[in-house]
Structure 1
């Protein structure tokens, strides 16, 4: 909830894809990662994180990949460096290190020491879980690792991906997570996008054991007092999936880098919150968008390039993110409005090919920018999940949230 509530705030966070490598071969992977995929010196990322300063640095650093925990010492070092700069850290993992043979029912899993230290250094840990990951890592093995982490008080979440609201797998797995963890662990549910291996792969959902008929129809056993009962979400027709973003199998951001929900006529205003957080790609190139087609391709469109982690510092990147007239207009009106383009042209495609001068920085434009930002902030984490995620699962980001004021 807290992380997603920050999503519309420019430069509130930075995403860092510290490797493109991954030992898993999930058929839906947005990055097309392989064990021998590209990987650049850790010093590039470490140097950039070293420029964060308390009060002016990002509030959150999100470590993704590929599989970031293939570089556990780098992940730990980045988390510790970010903390000295006043930032908190989140790690998103595909859980390759979970035991291939699940522990006995209800058991916990041993986590390799270097990986355990990296997770411990981060403030939040999120596991990717979907039908395609389950072909590589058993669900119960993932649950066993998460049980071990939850038992010692780690802040956790799941990034769950499916083919759309009508996907029966989403009903199955979200109900299983709620039962297993007593509604204490939130979920961000997104949709697979046609990016990376998923662009050409046939993504029929693998067969999985079905849950009992009552699954998901009652509050999970062990749920905190006052937890409301919820029925399993209905299955409306699936809308088209958005393009997936940078991240382990597109998870953090299958709900973060596609176009927002909505339709309109030519030139409709449809603000983009994805032009808010800088994203450091595998080679250190920093973009204003985490959409995988932006992160992967060179050259990066000029209006979306913010710099390079090997040469620029955070203050420079932050200033470019905040002051760019085109980025400010994208966050306020969206690319269709800027280009005067019809919706069928494609929201993200229109942005990548955008070639227009920035609108004049008038008082009215500044007023609109504040209004759009504040409307999105008012929607909070659930509002963001509803707009970019997979309804009707948006409420699951609030599970376990203490609903109290805090310093984040």
Structure 2
């Protein structure tokens, strides 16, 4: 399963599920959106597996993304969740900070087991991660993962599209790996540890209808809540307005979650015109500053005029049609367009770094497993002697829960 395929599904309601397995992480990155530590909370494993058991072959997400914290602090649960979801037709991706790669990039046995169980394995890389995990160690881990046969990608974070770090590292990844490692490039947001130093975002324009493209995939928070939002405040439980709550692992089945995600009138209008425009149409004052878009969404339950307007506009068949039109328009430009809006500008195209086979990009370049580990097709990263061959090629941001400081818990 390629990164571009996941991002193509990112604005389809219920096509994906984001799961926060843990708040724990052995790294201490200065930009971590979840401010993870070694002592954070952990998701109830039994509750998660019970919930995954409510998937049905005809009604289940296409992809489940496992994040943290560092999800590989719970490798057994990653494997068990991937197997439970896979039995019902759902593919699994995992996003790791690559702490296991320190000291040469060797894959521990537990990580190899995870790599064989999942359909996509993504690693984080940025200037902050590199203070704890060397870039060459991450590259070595990528080569080892590709030999196993699992599709890989990199989640890169920078200070914006003009950050020299992003230009340098994306060029090096393409030189080393050709088209085998697509990249999802994001900008640091002032959330989590980065709140103390990252630049604030520009204030939103209330006159412009700007629907939320990140409210399509349900999110399982570490406390078991299921929400419609991947914003870190919602995932951590600091903000849980009623229109963003879809259920709880202990009491809700997947069909109920999807039904609520599709039919909530306020949530429909959040996707269609966005919370700031809802506030303006309801005669209310949106929140100011760079966090105003999400902060306004968190306040909608308390903005009576705005909530009533959204409940009317989003109700019934008309509300459903408005929502579908907005989502269809958002999907129109493909994943690169989505990531140019939510990521680091011009790097959005790197999400699709896939070599076509026979005119199709579906499954392109996937190594063929012939019983053991294999060399990736046309692996250009290293000669047998170790020198780079210099191949070139020419990626979430999904604000899904991940420990990358992109601002919303990514994709």
> TM-score range with shorter-chain normalisation?
0.7 to 0.9
Provide the secondary structure at the position in 1 that maps to 2:18: strand
Question: Which of 279, 288, 294 is residue 219 of structure 2 equivalent to?
Answer: 279
Residue 181 (structure 1) aligns with = 177
Counterpart Cα distance in 1 of 2:201 and 2:122: 22
Give the TM-score normalised by structure 2: 0.79
Residue 178 and residue 240 in structure 1: after superposition, are their counterparts in 2 closer, same or farther (change >3 A)?
A: farther
1:389–1:323 CA distance, 2 compared to 1 (3 A): same
Instruction: Give the CA deviation at 1:110.
Output: 2.8
**1:92 matches 2:95:** yes
Name the residue aligned to 2:344.
Answer: 390
Higher RCO by CA contacts (8 Å cutoff, separation 6 or greater): 2
Q: CA RMSD in A?
A: 2.1
Which residue in 1 is equivalent to 2:146? 150
**Number of aligned positions between the proteins:** 345
In 2, Cα distance between equivalents of 1:405 and 1:29? 33
CA gap 1:128/1:241 in 2 versus in 1, 3 angstroms: farther
- Residue 313 of structure 1, aligned match among 231, 250, 253: 253
Question: Secondary structure of 2:17's partner?
Answer: strand
- Name 2:381's counterpart in structure 1: none
Tell me the alpha carbon deviations over residues 317-352 of structure 1, each in whole angstroms, 9 at most, x when there is no partner. Answer: 111111111111111111112111558451111101
Question: Does the 8 Å contact 2:17/2:63 carry over to 1?
Answer: yes
| Residue 218 of structure 1: aligned partner | none
Partner of residue 359 from structure 1, selected from 312, 318, 343: 312
Matched, 1:36 2:39: yes
Question: Are 1:52 and 2:52 matched, yes or no?
Answer: no
Q: Distance in 2 between matches of 1:40 and 1:151?
A: 31
Separation in 2, partners of 1:50, 1:399: 34
The answer (yes or no) to whether the contact 1:28–1:132 under 8 Å persists in 2 is yes
Name the structure 2 match of 1:404: 360
> Unmatched 5+ residue regions in structure 1?
103-108, 204-238, 243-258
Is the CA contact 1:275–1:288 (under 8 Å) kept in the aligned structure 2? yes
Gaps of 5+ in 2: 302-306, 364-411
> Equivalent residues in 2 for 1:8-407 (5 A)?
8-100=11-103, 102=104, 109-200=105-196, 202=197, 241=201, 264=205, 266-298=206-238, 300-340=240-280, 341=285, 344=288, 346-355=292-301, 356-357=307-308, 358-360=311-313, 361=315, 363-402=317-356, 404=360
- Rounded to whole Å, the distance in 2 between the matches of 1:393 and 1:273 is 18
The alpha carbon displacement at 1:118 in A equals: 1.2
